[in-house]
A = this chain, B = another copy of it.
Amino acid sequence: MDASDILALCKRRGFIWPAFEIYGGVAGMYDYGPLGIAMKNNIIDIWRKAYTLGEGFIEIDGPTIGPEIVFKASGHVDAFSDSIVSCTKCKESFRADHLAKGLHSNPDSLSNEELSKLLRENGVRCPECGGDLTDVEDFNLMFKTTIGPGAGRVGYLRPETAQGIFVDYLHLYRFVREKLPFGVIQIGRGYRNEISPRQGIIRLREFNMMEAELFVDPENKSWPRFDKIKNEKMKLVPNNGDEIEITVGEAVERRMIGNATLAYFMYFTQEFLKTVGIDPNRLRFRQHLQTEMAHYASDCWDAEVLLSYGWTEVVGIADRGCWDLSRHIEYSNADLTAFKKYEEPVEIEREVIKPKYELLGPKFKGKSAKIGKALEEIDPSKIKNGNITIDVDGEKITVGSEFFEIVRIKEKVTGRKIVPHVIEPSHGLDRIFYACLEHAYTQKSDGYVVLRLKPAVAPIKVGVFPLMVKDGLDVRAAEIDERIRMSGIASYYDDSGSIGRRYARMDEIGTPWCITVDYETLKDGTVTIRDRDTTRQVRIHQERIIPTINSLLCGTPFSALEQ
């Protein structure tokens, strides 16, 4: 089995297919078909509930287009790029690090100049036509557009949903009643204008993300429920050593993982991935090398799954430190801080400006009260050459030292402002979707395919068949199908071909159970229910179908029906 088998099945049965095919397609763009979107939504649903209902995260949903300043602040305008070379003859473009593979142990770590030199010295030419290559340059990976008419405003399609959360920090901090830690999720599209994407839905120009941003106290990166899971195990590949299986608690104690919150959410990610159907034996966490870390990250672990493409990142769990909030503070002047209370109020001494109101009055007349108030509030460090410039109703007024004195005061302070740090589990939804398919794919020697999807993830839960399309069996089956659908469970009626063919069609798309209406149904109201993975069958009464399916969906083993 390789990716082409999965992609062929996906296209034939309606999970995913290349977008815009009637126009020759666009590299890096796919459509989710009817089965794909149902399965994707099931994964989203499990993830959203785990974070919101399970861990108390809140959710937001913002625009995919953002104004340039947001991505100046986030660093993406300057740093979100790949190294590109183009052919001077056929004009095709390539990622320079891809062409340098095999010529250097780690092409990613080279500068554009070094890459240019490496390619030149090795006589690398255009892989398409053999033409000369240009020098290596940076290519920014954001899709650019214009907001509004005329020259308008430069805008970009977001490369991550995270920035939409950071710029909303003030609203979110207020919503959680100004307490750390708190977590926020966002689910939606991300965009990355790849130079020449291949590899199915592993590398898309438009993709689906599920991101969580946790705002934590930089001095206390603990997590309330950490103790509950500290004895659970994870498979780690730290950047300074070999793969090791270790408990979450020990990984933190031995400082392999930087802090308890990061470790908790790595474990949380592992459990989520297992829940949706990732094989735990093909899952590990690999720590980023210092040289491969994104511009915003101070530590990062990738959840990697083993696919036919090799080990593939599906989730990145990064400690973004104070990078994002600090940058947005710098660019927006907004007060993106949290107030950290001291255990006890502290008495401090500080210098303040004391205005001489008796001199301000005659000089500044009606404005003197406002000027005095502004002076009281401004920090004495702002005094330049003995004068201080203040802002009163939008007017800048310079006040000489004769109008104020500097005094020391004592005051009680109950806490101080801190810039929270951010821990981010960022999920590539399309990759997780694909990994679920690959890990579920089984093929018998005769070519018979069963997709052993987790029932909660399977796009269709129940196939409903009449044994024959006559004697009212089809009418009864169609009624049962409708009743199941109306109860909110996705079912599929099929009366074409032999029962064996119909089971095979359902097995191939991962439908966990099939119900067949036969002549006994007409006599005693019972139907057969068949289990995908064991192919065993049990008779149940038709009135018990919906509660039975619901109970199986909640995890009751099929064998329990056999007793």
Contact = CB atoms under 8 A, between A and B. Distances in A.
Interface of A: 11, 14, 17, 19-23, 26-27, 29-34, 36-38, 40, 49, 52-54, 58-67, 69-70, 84, 86, 91, 93, 139, 143-150, 153, 155, 157, 164, 167-168, 170-171, 175, 177, 189, 191, 193-196, 205-206, 328, 331-332, 334, 336, 485-486, 488, 490, 496
A143 B146 contact: yes
A37 B49 contact: no
Contacts of A29: 63, 65
A70 B328 CA distance: 38
A285 to B, nearest CB: 27
Contact of A332 (B23, B52, B60): B23
A175 B33 contact: yes
Contacts of A86: 149-150
Given A146-B144, A195-B149, A488-B49, A59 B34 contact: yes
A554 to B, nearest CB: 11
Contacts of A139: 149
Given A145-B157, A334-B22, A61 B49 contact: no
Contacts of A11: 171
A523 to B, nearest CB: 30
A446 to B, nearest CB: 26
A193 B149 CA distance: 8
A458 to B, nearest CB: 15
A131 to B, nearest CB: 15
A175 B168 CA distance: 42
A149 B66 CA distance: 21
Most buried by B among A31, A206, A336: A31
Contacts of A490: 52-53
B23 A69 contact: yes
B64 A206 contact: yes
A205 B150 contact: no
A32 B175 CA distance: 13
Contacts of A67: 20, 23, 26
A168 B334 contact: no
A147 B20 CA distance: 14
A63 B157 CA distance: 13
Given A67-B20, A70-B20, A193 B36 contact: no
Nearest to A191: B65
B14 A32 contact: no
A147 B36 CA distance: 25
B206 A31 contact: no
Contacts of A37: 59-61
Contacts of A328: 22
B22 A34 contact: no
A62 B14 CA distance: 13
Closest 3 CB pairs of A and B: A34-B58, A22-B334, A32-B61
Contacts of A149: 84, 86, 93, 139, 193, 195
B146 A53 contact: no
B31 A61 contact: yes
Nearest to A489: B53
A205 B65 contact: yes
A87 to B, nearest CB: 11
A111 to B, nearest CB: 19
Nearest to A152: B193
A170 B22 contact: yes
A190 to B, nearest CB: 11
A20 B171 CA distance: 11
A65 B143 contact: yes
B60 A32 contact: yes
Nearest to A141: B149
29 contacts: A14-B175, A17-B168, A19-B63, A19-B167, A21-B170, A22-B332, A22-B334, A22-B336, A23-B67, A23-B332, A26-B63, A26-B67, A31-B62, A31-B171, A32-B61, A33-B60, A53-B488, A53-B490, A65-B157, A65-B191, A91-B150, A93-B148, A93-B150, A143-B145, A144-B145, A144-B146, A145-B145, A148-B195, A148-B196
